[in-house]
Amino acid sequence: MADNALVRHFENRIPEMLEFAKELVEHESPSTDPQAVNRFSAFLRGVFEAEGATCEVFPGTDRGDNLKLTWGQGDKQVLVLCHMDTVWPVGEVARRPFRVEDGKVWGPGIYDMKAGFLYTLEAIRAIKQLGIKMNRKLVMVFNSDEEIGSTSSRALIEEEAKKSEFVLVLEPSVRGGGLKTSRKGQGTFSIQVTGVSAHSGSDPERGVSAIGELAHHILALHALTDFQTGTTVNVGVVSGGSRSNVVAARASAEVDVRVANASEAARVESALFGLKPTRSGISVNVTGGMVRPPMERSEGIARLFQQAKAFAAELGFELTESATGAGSDGNFTAALGVPTLDGLGAVGDGSHAIHEHMVIDAIPGRIALLVRLITEMG
């Protein structure tokens, strides 16, 4: 059967793939180190250009460069998204070197999401080598700052998404291999409270405590959490005051917001920006906003998933879907109404954790799925 032949093609290439995976891991690329990210992007550019891709570089300012690669021809296009940056500092590979053990590949960034480059490269090579017909071009955006909010790459991602029939995001799968068909939106906010300092023993009535004020707002914000609708508001960091015998003149908080739909985003945002001082002498200033809109499971996404599930069944594995509270660049493209399938990358576990790994057995089927999505969808 042709599909099994496609899976077998990738099974036979596992040794070469593991060598490439090692190179991916060893090009360390923390979001906050533009030089390191650019060394990695130069490496990737060379590899994909060697397969016939054309590359446009969008220089980052205080971030690494973002790449747009185009492969193949056609009026229509499919967009593949992979982020080059990881959460790991340079030097992490020396502490936790790349290794293959127990049928798994271990190394910083392999699961989130360097495996995405391996999958995409192998898909292109197979389409070429096996002469698989393609009626659209493949556009790939490799960005440098996904882990820190994609502020320098968002415009490029959105521009290419608007030109695309659908978007494939090579972020890691959910544990067990499922795709991500909905993601919560995420926001980050800071609250600065200013009060009036005073000696807590001799002049306490002259003071207005910024800490007391902030405490009041923290409780109100936590009350916005509604597990039913999927909304969470977490005041994750607080600081303030100077000494125990001083009425605190300053206090601040950092808040993480997660929402499942746009109306909840609006509700929480307006509550945050509507915070008012409860006492005179106090000022409350809120900054920040929603970083990523929610990726809601639209009809287009559901249709894309059903097709992927059918392809997977033909390729010999069962594909499931789930929702996640974590965001990705798929949030941006889905929010534009472009059908987006996320979590197509590595099967494994341990995003942002030291047990990060990818399962080798799952690789051939997953790349075969990617090939079929790129060449046969719609």
Q: What is the DSSP letter of 59?
A: -
Rounded CA gap, 304 and 108, in Å?
A: 31
Pick 169 or 214: Cβ nearer Zn ion: 169
Rounded CA gap, 281 and 195, in Å?
A: 6
Work out whether 81 is an interface residue with Zn ion (CB under 5 A). no
Give me the least distance between CB of 357 and Zn ion, in Å please. Answer: 15
Contacts with Zn ion, 108-147, as mask; x by CB under 5 A: ----xx----------------------------------
Pick 113 or 255: Cβ nearer Zn ion: 113
Rounded CA gap, 13 and 123, in Å?
A: 12
Give me the least distance between CB of 115 and Zn ion, in Å please. Answer: 10
Pick 3 or 356: Cβ nearer Zn ion: 356
Please, are residues 154 and 144 in contact by the beta-carbon 8 Å criterion?
no
Pick 81 or 126: Cβ nearer Zn ion: 81
Q: What is the DSSP letter of 113?
A: I
Please, are residues 283 and 142 in contact by the beta-carbon 8 Å criterion?
no
Pick 84 or 113: Cβ nearer Zn ion: 113
Give me the least distance between CB of 364 and Zn ion, in Å please. Answer: 22
Rounded CA gap, 131 and 365, in Å?
A: 19
Both tokens of 301, joined, read 């996404």
Give me the least distance between CB of 291 and Zn ion, in Å please. Answer: 14
Nearest residue to 158 via CA among 24, 303, 338, 319 = 338
Rounded CA gap, 160 and 165, in Å?
A: 10
Rounded CA gap, 35 and 64, in Å?
A: 7
Give me the least distance between CB of 226 and Zn ion, in Å please. Answer: 27
Q: Which one of the spans 116-124, 171-179, 229-237, 330-338 is the region binding Zn ion (CB under 5 A)?
A: 171-179
Residues that bind Zn ion (CB under 5 A): 112-113, 171
